Amino acid sequence: MLAHLEGAELVQAELARRAGVSETAVQLVLDPLVARGLVRRQPQGAEPATFRLTMTGVKRLKGHREYSEARAGREWRKAPSEEPEAPQEPRLVTWTWAGETPPQQQGNPALEQALVEQLEHVALSRAELVRRTSAPDHDVQAALDKLIQETFVERYPQDNLPAEYGLTEGGIGRLKLVREFAESPMSALGEVLGAAATQAVQGRRRPAAKVRSSRQRLSDDERAACSTALAEQFGFGRIDIAELHRRTDLLLAATTRNDLGAVFEGLPQPVLDQASAGQPAPGWRSGAAGCTSIVSVFFGLMGLALISGHDDVDDVVFGLILVGGAVVWNYLVWSWARRRVN
C-alpha cells in the first residue's frame, strides 16, 4: 500500500483498483497507517478524501526496500552450488572454556524495529508477524528471541493456539524514543541526558550521606560543639547537673557520630555538617579535571557523529550513550574538583 502511494496522492477507490482488492480491505489497511502517522488523509469537501505518504511513511518505505534488497543479496549468496554439500549434523552441545561468555548472535535492527511497530497496538502470533513483515520465519524468530532477551517483547502462551507476542513497558519506551528522535533529535537527546545525569547524581550522593551520618569520626571542633549543646540543654532546664556529667562522660568516650545517639537521647542533636566544613579544594584538582574533560569531549563528538550520520537504531543509541556519558563524566569530575577537603 505504501508503494502505491509513493509520489502520488490517490483516493481509496484508485488504491483498491491498483492493489486488486476491495475498498473495504483497503480501508482496513489505511486506518492503521493513518493512526501511526505513515499516511495522511486529505479531506476534499464533497469529493472523496485522498491519501498520501508522510515523511515517516517515506522513510519506512525506504527502509523496507533496503531490507528487501539486503535479504535478496543474502539469499543469492546462500544459493546452492551445482555440487550439493554433505548435510551437517546439528551441534547438540557447545563447548566453552570456564568463565567464557558464549558469542552473541548479530541482530537485525531493521527487522526488530519493524516487529516493535507491528506489536504497538495488539499482540500477534509469529505467523502473522511473518506475513506482515514478509521476512523469513527463522529471522523473525531470532529477532523475537533477541527482543525478549532485552525485555522489549513478552511471549504469551495460548491453550491449543500459537503463542502471541506483545510489547512490554520497555518496548513502548523504545518505540517512543525512536519516534521522538526522528521528529526532534535535540529534544530526545536532552531527555536522555537529563535522566542519566539525575540517576548518576542520586546514586553518588546516597552513599556519601550514609557514611557521613554513621561512620565519620568526631573531630575536636565537633566534640566541642556537642559539649556546648549539652550546656545549653542544662541551661534550658531539660537535664540536671548529674545528667550533664553523665552525658559529658559519654561524649568524651564517643568516637563516631553514630555514638552521639546515646549522648543526646531525648534531646535535640546539633547539626555538625556546617561545623565540619573543610578547606577549599587544592588547585591541582582543577588541572586534572580540565585534562579529563578534554578527553571526554572527544567521546562526546564521536557520539554526535554517530547520531547525525547514521539511521541505524543501535548506532543512534550508542551515540546517545557516548554523549550522555561525556556530560555526566564532566559533571562528576568538576564536582570532585570543587569539593572541600576535610
Q: pLDDT by residue (tens digit) across 97-119?
A: 555 555 555 668 888 888 888 88
How confident is the prediction for the chain on average, in pLDDT?
A: 76
**Residue 207: per-residue pLDDT:** 46
Q: Look at residues 272, 282, 299, 277 and name the one whose alpha carbon lies nearest to residue 337.
A: 282
| DSSP label at residue 88 | P
**Residue 165: per-residue pLDDT:** 92
pLDDT at 224 over 50: yes
| DSSP label at residue 50 | E
**Residue 195: per-residue pLDDT:** 60
Using alpha carbons only, give the angle 308, 314, 320 rounded to the nearest 5 degrees. Answer: 55
List the alpha helices (DSSP H) in the chain: 12-19, 23-35, 55-77, 109-118, 126-133, 137-149, 169-183, 185-214, 220-236, 241-253, 260-263, 284-309, 313-338
pLDDT in tens, 39-69: 888 888 788 888 888 888 778 777 777 766 6
Q: Is 272 within 8 Å of 292 (Cβ atoms)? A: no
Q: Is 27 within 8 Å of 12 (Cβ atoms)? A: yes
Query: Regarding predicted confidence, which is higher, 232 or 282?
Result: 232
Q: Residue 339: pLDDT band by 50, 70, 90 thresholds? A: low
pLDDT in tens, 290-309: 777 787 788 888 888 877 76
| Bridge partners, 41 (sequence order) | 51
Place of cell 500500500: 1
Query: Regarding predicted confidence, which is higher, 167 or 195?
Result: 167
Calculate the alpha carbon distances from 206 to 72, 169, 197, 199, 220 in Å: 54, 27, 15, 11, 26
Contacts (Cβ under 8 Å, ≥6 apart) of 114: 64, 67, 133, 135
Q: Which triple of cell numbers denotes residue 255?
A: 568516637
Q: Look at residues 68, 177, 70 and name the one whose alpha carbon lies nearest to residue 133.
A: 68
pLDDT in tens, 118-140: 888 888 899 999 999 888 998 89
User: What share of the chain in percent tops pLDDT 70?
Assistant: 72
Mean pLDDT of 179-197: 64
